[in-house]
Amino acid sequence: MPVTLRKVLYLSFFLSLLLLTVALISLSIGSAGIGFTRILSIILSKLPFSPSSPLLDETEVAIVLSIRLPRILLAGLVGAALSVAGVVFQCLLRNPLAEPYILGISSGSAVGAILAIMAGIVASSWGIPLASFGGALLTILLVYRIARVGRRMETTTLLLVGVIVGFFFAAIVMFLLSISPIHGLQKALFWLMGDLSTANYLKIIIILPYVLGGIIFIYAWARSLNIISMGEEAALQLGIEVEKAKLILFVAASLITGAAVAVSGVIGFVGLIIPHIVRLLAGPDHRLLLPASALVGGSFLIIADTLARTVIIPSELPVGVVTAFFGAPFFIYLLRRKRGEVLDEQNL
């Protein structure tokens, strides 16, 4: 069935309703349970021209609007960014196991964030995100520079360089943690495992232009991604400047990943799981795959973060631990399936 604008809008509308439902359920869950009716009353009371309600509990208002809502919004943005980046990397590298972190971007971001923590600029809301984003940008430039041979960028080489650079930055992270003061160690470790507990509206404002603008920009290349996924030779014959497209899309996907990591830490497997699930439901066409992955990825990370903050109340888990519980078995399944396909080809 051909992909039309109406089909894209229908699917996006349905998945947006799913995202909204997940967000409302997440708002109601926590150490202090709050009913849906009261949540809607609290949200509506803050809309322009809405009448004030003296019956609202100020504690519940603070819990919903100051603690849970910014965390849910941030989880949705980060999940969308990582999922879209995963779609792009899997297409460009033509590898179903590819995901944002395999290119070393998360490790580079982690180095920047930990340097900011050790430098004592934790109090600044802009400090850690900017330092992390700088680390991501440095990693992007380094990986691309090393992997580029002449005017070409081989995907296999790029993948290997990303893994090597990731290991190098991971070693730097371990070194920095080993010499860091004890009082900063727990915060750094939580950040490395993915942490949305420090979510606030400022962080949302910081990454919103990067994530929203990046996803829209990548969606403009959806047709090119469809052609590239057919093979580079076919893409060249159809007039696609493959190397230029790969560079632009690689940088765009890496930047939205860096923006996500800057405010949430290292959250793995989202960019691996979601594209495969959405591909099974919506098909391989990137005009559907990209918006659907963004919305499903946002819903998935909201659910994962809800589990992270409620499963061991009053304490909480890093959200990266929860995504790893889902992602690790899925990764093994994909690895075994890929190995089975290789064996079948050899037998033929």
- DSSP secondary structure of 91-112: HHHT-TT--GGGGTHHHHHHHH
What is the maximum span of the chain, computed from C-alpha positions, in angstroms? 74
- Considering Cα of 232, then 233, then 238, then 239, what sign does the dihedral take? positive
Cα–Cα distance between 299 and 172 in angstroms, integer? 33
- Considering Cα of 254, then 260, then 266, then 267, what sign does the dihedral take? negative
CATH for 5-47+56-347 is 1.10.3470.10
Is the per-residue pLDDT at 46 higher than 80?
A: no
Q: For the chain, what are the domain ranges?
A: 5-47+56-347
Q: What is the pLDDT of residues 244-270, one digit of tens each?
A: 898 899 888 888 888 888 888 888 889
Cα–Cα distance between 325 and 106 in angstroms, integer? 19
**Mean per-residue pLDDT of the chain:** 83
pTM of the full structure = 0.87
CA 171-318-163 angle, to 5 degrees, is 30
Q: What is the pLDDT of residues 87-129, one digit of tens each?
A: 998 898 877 777 877 778 878 887 887 787 777 665 455 666 6
- Highest mean predicted confidence (pLDDT) among 15-24, 180-189, 254-263, 265-274: 15-24
pLDDT band, residue 82 (cuts 50/70/90): very high
The residues facing 153 across adjacent strands are 148
Cα–Cα distance between 314 and 158 in angstroms, integer? 43
Cα–Cα distance between 290 and 1 in angstroms, integer? 18
Lowest mean pLDDT among 79-83, 175-179, 198-202, 309-313: 175-179
CA atoms within 13 Å, Cβ hemisphere of 326: 20
Nearest CA among 128, 247, 260, 254 for reference residue 204:
260
